[in-house]
Amino acid sequence: MMAKEKVSKFRKFFRGVIGTSSKKTNAEFKVTERALYSLFVTAFWCVLIVLAIGIGFTVLKYFSVDFLNGIKINHIGALGDFFGGTLNPILTFLTFVGLLITIVLQQAELSEARKEFKKSANALELQNKSIKRQSFESTFFQMLTLHNTIIDNIEFSDKRHYLLPQSQTKVFQGRQSLREFNDAIKRSYYDVAKARNYQKGNVNNISHIQEAYKDFWKDYGGNLSHYFRYLYNIIRFVKEGDFCEESYLRLIRAQFTDQELFLLFYNCLTPQGENFKVMLEKLGVKDSFAFFNNLSASQLIEPSHYHLMDKSVFVKGG
């Protein structure tokens, strides 16, 4: 028990020499510390053994002879030569051990410095990511605000009454105008269907829709072109950004009334809305985000039009 306590005290002394504590040492350094400790103990015992043997032989050789006649000066000089010749390599060896300890400590410090640098780099990366997200969200919400401003400035006046004086023409503005645009698309669609003797329920009527929308766009494209272009770029901004998350897409979708979804759906079926259609279908297929999730077939001009776009834009995972 006493031996263990002495060993423990000696090891604490060694840790004090190399400047470490038992509680604040990583696993990698503990292995190195054990190896150095063994080397240190070995060197210590070697020094003691060599000194003991040297002293013993010297005493036997020089002090036992002529002890009664007195100690000769040359004997003392020989003893000094022995100690000098013996201690010099031992001290050199201890210097080498000290050098090893210094190298190991420097390696330990470099290891800790690398860890701290890595922590600093990770913290800086998180900070940069946070700044980027704040910048992204600031731009995103500014775009949503401007989008609503664009809607508030949209105007609708019935082109069928263009011969009437302006004072007698009723003008709708903002979200109220969107319902009127919906009705205008329906009227244009039924006019084309009537002119072509269109059979109701024909699923392959995309050409009819495009012709009707072309007539509609001729009258009202100037009122809605800015709206569609800006909406396209808001969704594109999120989709191509570093933070393409469903929560942002949901916020965009939450802005839409049924009338807006109706307008956007039929715009996507036309040549000018082809890019919009491709982007929304990619969101549905690749990102499992159904942009027209709140638009039912019964809200369309004909329920069969529901099949003219990929079902993934209506049902998540569809």
Are residues 69 and 212 both part of a single domain? no
Structure letter (DSSP) for residue 199 = P
C-beta separation of 39 from 100 below 8 A: yes
Residue 286 covered by a domain: yes
Domain extent, residue 215, equals 153-313
Are residues 199 and 106 both part of a single domain? no
The proportion of the chain whose per-residue pLDDT surpasses 70, expressed as a percent, equals 68
Are residues 123 and 172 both part of a single domain? no
Residue 253 covered by a domain: yes
Name the one residue in this structure whose structure tokens are 């039009």. 305
Q: What is the pLDDT of residue 217?
A: 92
Residue 29 covered by a domain: yes
Residue 145 covered by a domain: no
Are residues 115 and 205 both part of a single domain? no
Are residues 120 and 190 both part of a single domain? no
Structure letter (DSSP) for residue 70 = -
Helix (H) or strand (E) holding 156: strand 155-157
Are residues 180 and 79 both part of a single domain? no
Are residues 111 and 248 both part of a single domain? no
Are residues 18 and 57 both part of a single domain? yes
Say how many CA atoms lie within 13 Å of 218 toward its Cβ: 8
Are residues 80 and 204 both part of a single domain? no
Are residues 157 and 43 both part of a single domain? no
Q: How confident is residue 121, by pLDDT bands cut at 50, 70 and 90?
A: confident
Q: What's the sign of the alpha-carbon dihedral 14, 16, 20, 24?
A: positive
Count the domains in the chain. 2
Point out the domain boundary residue: 131, 163, 196.
Answer: 131
Are residues 191 and 107 both part of a single domain? no
Residue 142 covered by a domain: no
Residue 148 covered by a domain: no
Q: 288 versus 250: which is more confidently predicted? A: 250
Residue 137 covered by a domain: no
Q: Tell me which range, 10-24, 109-123, 135-149, 238-252, is most confidently predicted by mean pLDDT.
A: 135-149
Residues 255, 257, 258, CA angle at the centre, nearest 5°?
A: 145
Are residues 63 and 175 both part of a single domain? no
Residues in Cβ contact with 317 at an 8 Å cutoff, skipping those fewer than 6 apart: 288
Total residues found in the chain within this entry? 318
Residues 216-272 have pLDDT tens digits of 999 898 899 999 999 999 999 998 888 777 888 899 999 899 999 999 999 999 998
C-beta separation of 208 from 188 below 8 A: no
Residue 183 covered by a domain: yes
Helix (H) or strand (E) holding 116: helix 73-152
**Tally of CB atoms within 10 A around 156:** 21
With a cut of 50, say whether residue 203 has pLDDT above it.
no
